[in-house]
Homo-oligomer: A and B are copies of this chain.
């Protein structure tokens, strides 16, 4: 428990007292002024420490009513979703990727509703396979809105993955993420080199720039893959 700063000392102290059940779920903690006196510091310092704890969902803070221990804490896990190349290289493996498809075509029905655009609009359909030590790791099936990203049709995706290009060229303002389990489709099974119907982890992500959809991607991970996080 490294305690270098005053606000971290306060944070850790409060955490310890919570684990020792000095304050139970629903209880009100002392006010910022009281903590400031206890620790001999400014109120702003206490404010930072308590807000830090509130951001993890352990405490709830409201003006006038004070700081309370959350009764049914919504546990918040921060999942880090790195660029695939980095994720693979971080494990000490060799990264490579193969472009499978990159064509302009009419959006299918399930995509027009997702992109909230009229039917008949064309978009870039992009499929690629990411490999770890030359073995299939992740199959990517992506639609890119060419109205928002016209430059993308000139990009050579055999040298850089769409994943990385978009990260560098399409700053998003908003995104939605969905994690599910599915039976591998024929397409996914073929490219991942597994049997159709095998359970695989799917991550679907839509990103928006203001009100314009930029891209929708469905990531199919090879069997055995886990998304890990600490609480």
* A80 & B74 in contact (Cβ 8 Å cutoff): yes
Residue picked from A173, A179, A227, most chain B C-beta under 10 Å: A179
Given A200-B199, A207-B231, A171-B226 contact (CB < 8 Å): no
Residues of B within 8 A of A81 (CB): 74-77
CA–CA, A199 and B200, complex, Å: 8
* A227 & B178 in contact (Cβ 8 Å cutoff): yes
Q: How many copies does the complex hold?
A: 2
**Interface status of A159 (Cβ within 8 A of chain B):** no
Residues of B within 8 A of A227 (CB): 178-180
Residues of B within 8 A of A177 (CB): 77, 228-231
Interface on A for B, CB 8 Å cutoff?
15, 18-19, 21, 24-25, 58, 71-83, 86, 164, 167-168, 171-183, 199-202, 205, 207, 209-210, 221, 223-231
8 contacts between A and B (CB under 8 A): A77-B79, A77-B177, A174-B230, A179-B201, A179-B229, A180-B226, A181-B181, A205-B231
Instruction: Enumerate the 4 nearest inter-chain pairs by beta-carbon distance, A residue then B residue, closest first.
Output: A175-B231, A199-B199, A181-B181, A181-B201
